[in-house]
Amino acid sequence: MERLVYIKTFGCQMNEHDSERMLALLKGCGYRETQRYEEAHLILVNTCSVRAKPEQKAYSILGRFQRFKMERPNVILGVAGCVAQQEGERMLAKFPSLDFVFGPGKIHHLPEILREVERGQKGLCEVGLEDRPSTDVPLPRTRQLRAYVTIMEGCDNFCSYCIIPYVRGRERSCPSSEILAEIEALVERGTKEVILLGQNVNSYAEGDSDELTFPRLLAKINEIQGLERIRFTTSHPKDLTEELIGAFGRLNRLCEHIHLPFQAGSNVVLEKMGRGYTREEYLAEVRRLREVVPCISITADVMVGFPGEGGEDFAQTMGLLREVEFDGLFSFKYSARKGTKAARWKDDVPPEVKQRRLELLQELQRAITIKKNRELEGEVLEVLTEGSSRNSSQEMMGRARCNRIVNFPGGSKLAGELVRVKIEEGLPNSLRGELF
Ligand code: 5AD
Ligand code: SF4
């Protein structure tokens, strides 16, 4: 009998990729994905602990699934991801009906864990980072037009607010030979775009003089026949080299988009965050990127309400937004994460001030995004068609090289194709156009 799995994912692209890997493994065990947890035999929650909000959401959904399991005791319930990694056994104590808890380093154990659960084992806990699979533990992959490829994991930066280094461990890079082999295999199975993943891809293989640097790795990937597009995320401004900036000008497959989180516009706050760059240095990098590729799309992450952030600091963040005019922005309210350096400081910006600042920031960014999207009206963009648009079956949806979503009238035979689309309308979250 076919079994169904429902998986809820919180957090970053790394986590989305982990969920994909779990699904691929589960397929091998006879599972098929469902979007309705009510019909699932297995429910997985892939959690994120980077901020309080996604963590709380994961806890609340787990509460709901725990109640659901009271009515259907045969449903298997498991927790994965960074909260699982951090909490381990404590998670089992909090949610006694959980069947298993496993960390990001144990994904390849999932079939084994399930076998044990099916044999009647309760409350399994597998956390730990030491044997996290990189590309050396090949996991089954289904055909993917756009595929994530992990090139490094962990983080050594220890920004004062950030839990990631504690949860995902120290930086570890995958050997370039294996990354290249994985991408070649993906391309053979139909992949046209790869998204290289790492918490800080700019420091790929740092300190390993026998390994390729990140820009050299990009150059090698750029040579793979049949691959159309390369993207990467996330970059740290302190490690953005001239060589990497130059790669955007040199490599035809590297998409003109960089996600370059700045976090705060005030030097005082940046210093307390331990980011390792100043506002002026960040702005200089933006200028250099635009010198090399004038149309480059720049997106970023920013936080409001960091301990000690005053009105003047926040004004500097708003000013930076106006000056750079980001193509897109992810903005968050600071939340203390236990175990980090900043958690020892007083979380002294009142919640209503954080909320107000976030709203001001988002209002400003909304106007900038619309303005930038409208500036694209009349331009012809290369679009990789992914499938039918969300709103209409007569329309197709794809992504431009700048990472914007583009909708356009067209048939489903265009799925997977690179097409040229003339942009007719710039909307708040997407573009609309016609085939050119
Ligand atoms: N509070 C709020 N936002 C945070 N981020 C990371 N840690 C915190 C925290 N403690 C944000 C940063 C990061 C993004 C993934 O999440 O902006 O780039
Ligand atoms: Fe969240 Fe960080 Fe874990 Fe990604 S690595 S899921 S952002 S805590």
| Atom in ligand 2 nearest the alpha carbon of residue 85 | 3
In the reported structure, the alpha carbon of residue 150 is separated from the centroid of ligand 1 by a whole-number distance in angstroms of: 21
Residue 130 pLDDT: 61
User: Tokens at residue 203, please?
Assistant: 């420091």
DSSP-derived secondary structure letter, 421: E
Which ligand does the CA of 46 lie closest to?
A: 2
In the reported structure, the alpha carbon of residue 12 is separated from the centroid of ligand 2 by a whole-number distance in angstroms of: 6
Report whether pLDDT(134) > 60: no
The count of other CB atoms within 10 Å of the CB of residue 184 is: 15
Per-residue pLDDT tens digits for 157-202: 999 999 999 998 899 999 999 999 999 999 999 999 999 999 999 9
Q: Which of 129, 132, 164 to mutate to test the pocket of ligand 2 (most atoms within 8 A of CB)?
A: 164
- Bridge-partner residues for 196, per DSSP? 149, 232
Q: Which of 158, 162, 260 to mutate to test the pocket of ligand 1 (most atoms within 8 A of CB)?
A: 162
Q: Which domains does the chain have, with CATH numbers?
A: 3-126 (3.40.50.12160), 130-255 (3.30.750.210), 380-435 (2.40.50.140)
Decide: 162 in ligand 1 pocket, CB within 6 A.
yes
Residue 139 pLDDT: 65
Kindly report the backbone phi and psi dihedral angles of residue 293, in degrees, each rounded to the nearest multiple of 5, phi listed first: -135, 95
Residue 142 pLDDT: 74
In the reported structure, the alpha carbon of residue 82 is separated from the centroid of ligand 2 by a whole-number distance in angstroms of: 6
Residues 231 and 229: their CA atoms lie apart, in Å, by: 7
Residues 158 and 155: their CA atoms lie apart, in Å, by: 7
Which ligand does the CA of 17 lie closest to?
A: 2
User: Tokens at residue 46, please?
Assistant: 């892939």
Per-residue pLDDT band for 140 (boundaries 50, 70, 90) equals low
> In this structure, which amino acid lies at residue 231?
R
Instruction: Please state the rounded mean pLDDT for residues 30-37.
Output: 96
Terminal Cα distance for the chain, rounded: 48
Per-residue pLDDT tens digits for 355-364: 999 999 999 9
Instruction: Please state the rounded mean pLDDT for residues 291-320.
Output: 98
In the reported structure, the alpha carbon of residue 64 is separated from the centroid of ligand 2 by a whole-number distance in angstroms of: 22
Residues 424 and 376: their CA atoms lie apart, in Å, by: 8
| Atom in ligand 1 nearest the alpha carbon of residue 331 | 17
| Tokens 């709103």 -> residue | 391
User: Which residue minimizes the CA distance to atom 4 of ligand 2?
Assistant: 12
Which ligand does the CA of 16 lie closest to?
A: 2
In the reported structure, the alpha carbon of residue 51 is separated from the centroid of ligand 2 by a whole-number distance in angstroms of: 9
Decide: 303 in ligand 1 pocket, CB within 6 A.
yes
Render 40-63 in DSSP notation, one character per residue.
-SEEEEEE--SSHHHHHHHHHHHH
Residue partners of 378: CB distance under 8 A and separation at least 6: 422, 423
> With contact defined as beta carbons under 8 Å apart, do 112 and 121 qualify?
no
Residues 204 and 153: their CA atoms lie apart, in Å, by: 9
Residues 416 and 373: their CA atoms lie apart, in Å, by: 24
Q: What value does the mean pLDDT of the chain take?
A: 94
Residues in the chain: 436
Report whether pLDDT(307) > 80: yes
Residues 71 and 367: their CA atoms lie apart, in Å, by: 48
Residues 42 and 348: their CA atoms lie apart, in Å, by: 42
- The sign of the CA dihedral 316, 320, 322, 323 is positive
In the reported structure, the alpha carbon of residue 309 is separated from the centroid of ligand 1 by a whole-number distance in angstroms of: 15
Decide: 167 in ligand 2 pocket, CB within 6 A.
yes
Decide: 332 in ligand 1 pocket, CB within 6 A.
yes
Angle at 297 between CA 292 and CA 300, to 5 degrees: 115
Reduced to 3 states (helix: H, G, I; strand: E, B; else coil), residue 303 is strand
The count of other CB atoms within 10 Å of the CB of residue 30 is: 9
Which ligand does the CA of 349 lie closest to?
A: 1
Instruction: Please state the rounded mean pLDDT for residues 425-436.
Output: 96
Residue 46 pLDDT: 98
Which ligand does the CA of 81 lie closest to?
A: 2
Report whether pLDDT(322) > 60: yes
> In this structure, which amino acid lies at residue 38?
E
Residues 185 and 203: their CA atoms lie apart, in Å, by: 25
| Tokens 């005082």 -> residue | 268
User: Tokens at residue 289, please?
Assistant: 């990127």
Decide: 48 in ligand 2 pocket, CB within 6 A.
yes
Residue 138 pLDDT: 57
Report which of 295, 361, 374 is spatially closest to residue 332, judged by C-alpha positions.
Answer: 361
Residues 334 and 214: their CA atoms lie apart, in Å, by: 31
Burial (CB count <10 Å: 0-12, 13-18, 19+), residue 113: buried
In the reported structure, the alpha carbon of residue 10 is separated from the centroid of ligand 1 by a whole-number distance in angstroms of: 14
User: Which residue minimizes the CA distance to atom 2 of ligand 1?
Assistant: 334
